[in-house]
Amino acid sequence: MRRAIGIDPGTLSFDVCGVEGDRLFLDRTIPSAEITANPDVLVDMLQSAAPVDMIVGPSGYGLPWVRAQDLTHEQIELLILSEERDRGQDAIIGGMRGMLQLLKESGLPIIFAPGVISLT
Protein backbone atom coordinates (compact mmCIF):
# COMPACT_ATOMS: atom_id res chain seq x y z
CA MET A 1 0.00 0.00 0.00
CA ARG A 2 1.35 3.43 -0.92
CA ARG A 3 2.04 5.97 1.82
CA ALA A 4 1.78 9.68 1.08
CA ILE A 5 1.99 12.87 3.12
CA GLY A 6 0.67 16.31 2.25
CA ILE A 7 1.72 19.59 3.86
CA ASP A 8 -0.70 22.51 3.84
CA PRO A 9 1.02 25.72 4.92
CA GLY A 10 -1.05 28.48 6.44
CA THR A 11 -0.52 31.81 8.09
CA LEU A 12 -1.04 30.40 11.58
CA SER A 13 -0.18 26.73 11.16
CA PHE A 14 1.06 23.95 8.92
CA ASP A 15 -1.31 21.00 8.66
CA VAL A 16 0.36 17.69 7.88
CA CYS A 17 -1.66 14.66 6.85
CA GLY A 18 -0.45 11.18 5.91
CA VAL A 19 -2.53 8.44 4.31
CA GLU A 20 -1.92 4.80 3.54
CA GLY A 21 -4.80 3.44 1.49
CA ASP A 22 -7.91 4.44 3.43
CA ARG A 23 -6.05 4.80 6.73
CA LEU A 24 -4.87 8.09 8.20
CA PHE A 25 -1.46 7.52 9.79
CA LEU A 26 -0.47 11.14 10.41
CA ASP A 27 -2.58 14.16 11.32
CA ARG A 28 -0.70 16.98 12.95
CA THR A 29 -0.90 20.75 13.13
CA ILE A 30 2.29 22.69 13.81
CA PRO A 31 2.11 26.42 14.55
CA SER A 32 3.85 28.42 11.83
CA ALA A 33 5.74 30.32 14.53
CA GLU A 34 7.22 27.02 15.76
CA ILE A 35 8.42 26.13 12.26
CA THR A 36 9.84 29.64 11.82
CA ALA A 37 11.76 29.38 15.09
CA ASN A 38 12.87 25.78 14.57
CA PRO A 39 12.62 24.58 10.95
CA ASP A 40 13.95 21.15 12.00
CA VAL A 41 10.61 20.34 13.65
CA LEU A 42 8.90 19.67 10.31
CA VAL A 43 11.76 17.64 8.84
CA ASP A 44 12.09 15.59 12.04
CA MET A 45 8.37 14.80 11.99
CA LEU A 46 8.49 13.77 8.32
CA GLN A 47 11.53 11.56 8.90
CA SER A 48 9.81 9.87 11.84
CA ALA A 49 6.87 8.98 9.54
CA ALA A 50 9.15 7.21 7.03
CA PRO A 51 9.04 5.16 4.96
CA VAL A 52 6.77 7.10 2.61
CA ASP A 53 6.41 7.02 -1.17
CA MET A 54 5.74 10.72 -1.66
CA ILE A 55 5.48 13.95 0.29
CA VAL A 56 3.79 16.94 -1.32
CA GLY A 57 5.65 19.85 0.19
CA PRO A 58 4.30 23.25 1.15
CA SER A 59 3.66 24.81 -2.23
CA GLY A 60 1.10 26.58 -4.30
CA TYR A 61 2.89 29.64 -5.57
CA GLY A 62 2.96 28.82 -9.27
CA LEU A 63 6.13 26.74 -9.48
CA PRO A 64 6.04 23.79 -11.85
CA TRP A 65 6.26 20.31 -10.36
CA VAL A 66 9.76 20.12 -8.86
CA ARG A 67 11.51 17.68 -6.53
CA ALA A 68 12.84 19.24 -3.33
CA GLN A 69 16.37 18.06 -4.07
CA ASP A 70 16.25 19.95 -7.40
CA LEU A 71 15.11 23.30 -5.96
CA THR A 72 17.23 26.24 -7.06
CA HIS A 73 17.86 29.34 -4.97
CA GLU A 74 15.51 31.28 -7.27
CA GLN A 75 12.73 28.72 -6.80
CA ILE A 76 13.13 28.87 -3.02
CA GLU A 77 12.73 32.64 -3.20
CA LEU A 78 9.57 32.19 -5.30
CA LEU A 79 8.18 29.68 -2.81
CA ILE A 80 8.52 32.13 0.08
CA LEU A 81 7.33 35.09 -2.00
CA SER A 82 9.73 37.47 -0.31
CA GLU A 83 8.92 40.95 -1.53
CA GLU A 84 9.64 44.52 -0.50
CA ARG A 85 6.49 44.54 1.64
CA ASP A 86 7.91 41.63 3.65
CA ARG A 87 10.78 43.73 4.99
CA GLY A 88 10.81 43.69 8.75
CA GLN A 89 9.66 40.07 8.82
CA ASP A 90 13.18 38.71 8.49
CA ALA A 91 12.68 36.06 11.18
CA ILE A 92 9.64 34.64 9.40
CA ILE A 93 11.20 34.76 5.93
CA GLY A 94 14.49 33.36 7.24
CA GLY A 95 12.67 30.54 9.02
CA MET A 96 10.75 29.61 5.89
CA ARG A 97 13.91 29.75 3.79
CA GLY A 98 15.66 27.54 6.35
CA MET A 99 12.78 25.06 6.35
CA LEU A 100 12.82 24.79 2.54
CA GLN A 101 16.59 24.30 2.55
CA LEU A 102 16.27 21.53 5.16
CA LEU A 103 13.53 19.84 3.13
CA LYS A 104 15.79 20.03 0.07
CA GLU A 105 18.68 18.42 1.96
CA SER A 106 16.57 15.82 3.81
CA GLY A 107 16.69 13.07 1.19
CA LEU A 108 12.95 12.57 1.64
CA PRO A 109 10.78 12.02 -1.48
CA ILE A 110 9.37 15.56 -1.43
CA ILE A 111 7.81 17.22 -4.46
CA PHE A 112 6.50 20.76 -4.71
CA ALA A 113 3.32 21.22 -6.72
CA PRO A 114 1.87 24.19 -8.58
CA GLY A 115 -1.00 26.09 -7.00
CA VAL A 116 -4.50 24.93 -7.91
CA ILE A 117 -5.00 28.09 -9.97
CA SER A 118 -2.00 27.08 -12.09
CA LEU A 119 -3.50 23.65 -12.81
CA THR A 120 -6.63 24.96 -14.53
The answer to whether residues 69 and 18 touch, using CB atoms and an 8 Å cutoff, is: no
Q: Please name which of 55, 77, 52 lies closest in space to residue 68, comparing C-alpha atoms.
A: 55
pLDDT in tens, 62-117: 678 999 999 998 888 887 765 555 544 554 566 788 889 999 999 999 999 887 66
Report the alpha-carbon distance of residue 117 to residue 120 in Å, rounded: 6
Residue-wise pLDDT for 14-32, tens only, equals: 999 999 999 999 999 999 8
pTM score: 0.84
C-alpha closest to that of 39 among 17, 1, 9, 73: 9
Please tell me whether residue 105 adopts helix, strand or coil conformation: helix
Find out if CATH 3.30.420 is the number for domain 3-119: yes
Indicate the burial class of 41 (C-beta count within 10 angstroms; 0-12, 13-18, 19 or more).
middle
What local confidence, expressed as pLDDT, does residue 101 receive? 92
The Cβ of residue 76 has, within 10 Å, a number of other Cβ atoms equal to 19
